[in-house]
């Protein structure tokens, strides 16, 4: 056999071995994901079964703690027969609309102001104390003020969501802008980039992973802002269902609303994770959100 033929055979064998190892790793990863999912399902089923048994045997007070079967019946009743304010879909959409709008406004304001103050030290020095004071205020207590200002409509809930979302996004964007590699900025300036181009083409991409880290938490805050606003006073929404259920001592209704909110939050988290993975495909080791 010639030297060229031997080298070709060796290369083919190495390629085949690498392909086999890659397939084996992919299969192992898939099996592990299935095992984790199965363990989660079993754990959830065990907890629900234990809850149901304890409530039915009166080991825990079913009036206060309700039970999974009653919670499911409440969700089914809302789904099939609606709520006093309309269909369940309308209540979910009302809360989701308020949370999404507040989230978009809060994220936009937090990213823009965070990047600007991270880049302009003079503005950071001037506005820093005011932002710290506002951040120290328990922002949930602003919900009644927003209700007085904007009424029972969505605007007061959107405002509550905005103030809860803004600060975590702002501080992450600010820190991300400050942590940009100085060598990248210096090289961009040497190549003749203006401040605007440096910000848009160097600072913002470098801060993106910091920003995405806050997005996972901030949507939950947006939901909290919308729900708290609806709980205090609203015409529609899941928070209003919670308030009405509490007012009639319907613990199953309170838990049912919590389950619906948890599903909405999990779906939103899944979408954010998918978007983050797509955006950071180029990054070795995954998504880039781990600071």
pLDDT, tens only, 10-43: 555 666 666 767 777 888 888 888 999 899 999 9
Give the residue, 24 or 290, on which the prediction is more confident: 24
- Confirm whether 97 is domain-assigned: yes
- Range scoring the smallest mean pLDDT among 6-15, 45-54, 152-161, 197-206: 6-15
Q: How confident is the model at residue 287 (pLDDT cuts 50, 70, 90)?
A: very low
Residue ending a domain, choose from 30, 60, 90: 60
pLDDT at 213 over 60: yes
Q: Are 163 and 139 in contact (CB under 8 A)?
A: yes
On whether both 247 and 215 belong to a single domain, the answer is: yes
On whether both 77 and 10 belong to a single domain, the answer is: no
On whether both 108 and 44 belong to a single domain, the answer is: no
On whether both 114 and 250 belong to a single domain, the answer is: yes
pLDDT at 288 over 50: no
How many domains does the chain fold into? 2
- Confirm whether 284 is domain-assigned: no
Note the pLDDT of residue 54: 93
On whether both 86 and 170 belong to a single domain, the answer is: yes
On whether both 12 and 105 belong to a single domain, the answer is: no
pLDDT at 190 over 80: no
- Confirm whether 286 is domain-assigned: no
Residue ending a domain, choose from 42, 60, 78: 60
Question: What CATH number has the domain bearing residue 224?
Answer: 1.10.3720.10
pLDDT at 125 over 90: no
Interaxial angle between packed helices 251-279 and 88-119, expressed in degrees from 0 to 180 and rounded to the nearest 10: 40
On whether both 41 and 178 belong to a single domain, the answer is: no
On whether both 240 and 258 belong to a single domain, the answer is: yes
On whether both 154 and 87 belong to a single domain, the answer is: yes
Q: How confident is the model at residue 198 (pLDDT cuts 50, 70, 90)?
A: low
- Confirm whether 285 is domain-assigned: no
Give the residue, 236 or 275, on which the prediction is more confident: 236
What pLDDT, in 10s, does the model give residues 30-79?
Answer: 888 899 989 999 999 999 999 999 999 988 888 888 899 999 999 999 98
Mean pLDDT score, 276-291: 55
- Confirm whether 288 is domain-assigned: no
Mean pLDDT score, 240-266: 89
| Phi, psi for residue 50 in degrees, rounded to 5 | -65, -40
On whether both 174 and 106 belong to a single domain, the answer is: yes
On whether both 27 and 113 belong to a single domain, the answer is: no
In the chain, % of residues over pLDDT 90:
24
Question: Angle at Cα 183 formed by Cα 210 and Cα 276, nearest 5°?
Answer: 25
- Confirm whether 290 is domain-assigned: no
Mean pLDDT score, 210-225: 83
In the chain, % of residues over pLDDT 70:
79
pLDDT at 217 over 60: yes
Structural domain span for residue 162: 67-279
pLDDT at 187 over 80: no
Residue ending a domain, choose from 37, 60, 83: 60
**Residue with tokens 């079964």, as numbered in its chain:** 49
Note the pLDDT of residue 209: 73
Q: How confident is the model at residue 6 (pLDDT cuts 50, 70, 90)?
A: low
On whether both 93 and 39 belong to a single domain, the answer is: no
């Amino acid at each position: 056999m010639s030297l060229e033929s031997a080298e070709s055979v060796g290369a083919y064998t190495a390629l085949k071995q690498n392909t086999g190892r890659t397939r084996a790793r992919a299969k192992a990863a898939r099996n592990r994901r299935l095992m984790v999912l199965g363990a989660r399902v079993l754990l959830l089923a065990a907890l629900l079964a234990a809850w149901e048994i304890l409530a039915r045997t009166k080991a825990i007070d079913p009036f206060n703690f309700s039970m999974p079967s009653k919670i499911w019946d409440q969700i089914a009743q809302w789904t099939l027969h609606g709520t006093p304010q309309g269909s369940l879909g309308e209540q979910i959409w009302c809360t989701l609309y308020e949370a999404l709008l507040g989230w978009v406004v809060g994220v936009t304001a937090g990213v823009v102001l965070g990047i600007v103050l991270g880049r302009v030290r003079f503005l950071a020095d001037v506005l820093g104390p005011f932002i710290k004071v506002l951040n120290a205020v328990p922002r949930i207590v602003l919900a009644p003020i927003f209700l007085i200002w904007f009424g029972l409509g969505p605007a007061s809930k959107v405002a509550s969501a905005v103030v809860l979302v803004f600060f975590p996004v702002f501080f992450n964007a600010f820190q991300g802008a400050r942590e940009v590699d100085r060598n990248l900025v210096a090289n961009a300036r040497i190549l003749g980039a203006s401040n605007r181009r440096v910000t848009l083409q160097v600072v913002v991409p470098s801060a993106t992973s910091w920003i995405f880290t806050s997005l996972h938490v901030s949507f939950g805050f947006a939901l909290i802002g919308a729900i708290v606003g609806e709980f205090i006073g609203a015409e529609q929404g899941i928070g209003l269902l919670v308030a009405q259920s509490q007012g009639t001592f319907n613990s199953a209704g309170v838990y049912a609303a919590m389950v619906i909110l948890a599903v909405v939050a999990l779906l939103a988290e899944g979408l954010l994770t998918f978007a983050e993975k797509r955006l950071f495909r180029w990054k070795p080791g995954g998504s880039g959100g781990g600071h």
